[in-house]
Amino acid sequence: MNGNTDIVSNSRTRILLILGYGLAVVCLVWVLHDFHLVQAMRQIANVDWRWVLVGVSFDVLSYVIQGIRWKWLLTPFGRVKLTHSIRAVYAGLFANLVFPLRPGELLRSYLVSDSEDIGLGKVLGSMGVERLVDLVIATAALAIVSLMVDLPRKFERVAYILAIVALVLLSIVVAIIYYLELKLSKAPEGAKPPWLPGRLMGALMGLHAMGTAPSFYLAVLGSIFMPLSQVMGLWAMMRAYGLHLPFMAAVVVLLIINLGVSLPNAPANVGSYQFFCVLGCGVFWWYFGTDDTWKTTAAGFSFFAFLALTVPFALLGFLALLRSGLSLKSMRERVKHLPSETRSAQSLIRQTRSFT
């Protein structure tokens, strides 16, 4: 039975890999079609590196904030060291740069679970809460942008779909927490709730613990500053490249990139990042001038921003990986041999991430 399960799992992985690499190739072909290399090189030569430093600083800060937020979410289960949570976040980012299909989400869960002696299920549950909060914030940001910027109808439809999904998921979570709060208040002190199976009950109790802890509100507050820092980083990169786009353009482009790279893709989101960055810039094509070279400018910016924001994370992530006691080989083996149920949890998180 386990052999059949492994065969099915390997087949799905191969299909996702083929889709990911195929998508990367198609995206790169579209981005590089009619690409003027000389014009792009001229624009890169005029980059303002002071703005690059500002952009990198904000982007690095955003993942420090993510580590702080994660620590706050895990507070009900134990005292997580801030250095460990931040280190795990960067190690996970490095894994996503090196391997396809985002194994870093699972790896960072394992690192924190192992170093802080917290159950892996609880850690994965906290990541699910992260994604839900990110979904709500992304939906709110998209709604605000749609009121201030004349977006194409397709993006408005995406905003409506996200709003409905976020509202439904949030209502379900709030209802579960409220239901558990009523049940627990009536149960005798120290009694184990008998009305649900043990594993499901454990997951719901973990959700209840996170949602009712005082640190949860700090985590929500941190969730606002995290995407704000990323937007500031991308906007600074636009300024560095000479794109004098409005601040809202950075918000729109970042939202589109985040939606796009949630699909199965190649390591480091190569191809999909460039495609969706150009697609986002295309919403504001009139800011690039009246000629038809806006796509070359947007494509050149997509490669420039990708490299400028990726190289620092590659270095920081590799250092974090070493500090965690793992090598590239051991990291691959660790992700490969984690229990099958955690892989299922990872796929659930990946599906939730596709909305954020």
Residue ranges of the chain with per-residue pLDDT less than 70: 1-10, 12, 154-156, 158-159, 162, 177-178, 180-203, 264, 288-292, 334-356
pTM of the model: 0.82
pLDDT score at 183: 67
- Are 260 and 72 a contacting pair, CB within 8 Å? no
Residue 340: predicted pLDDT:
47
pLDDT at 296: 87
25-82 confidence digits (pLDDT tens) = 999 999 998 888 888 889 889 999 999 999 999 999 999 999 999 999 999 998 899 9
What pLDDT was estimated at residue 120?
Answer: 81
Question: What confidence tens digit (pLDDT) does each residue in 214-239 have?
Answer: 899 999 999 999 999 999 999 999 99
Instruction: Please tell me the predicted confidence (pLDDT) of residue 344.
Output: 46
Q: Domain ranges for the chain, please list them.
A: 24-353
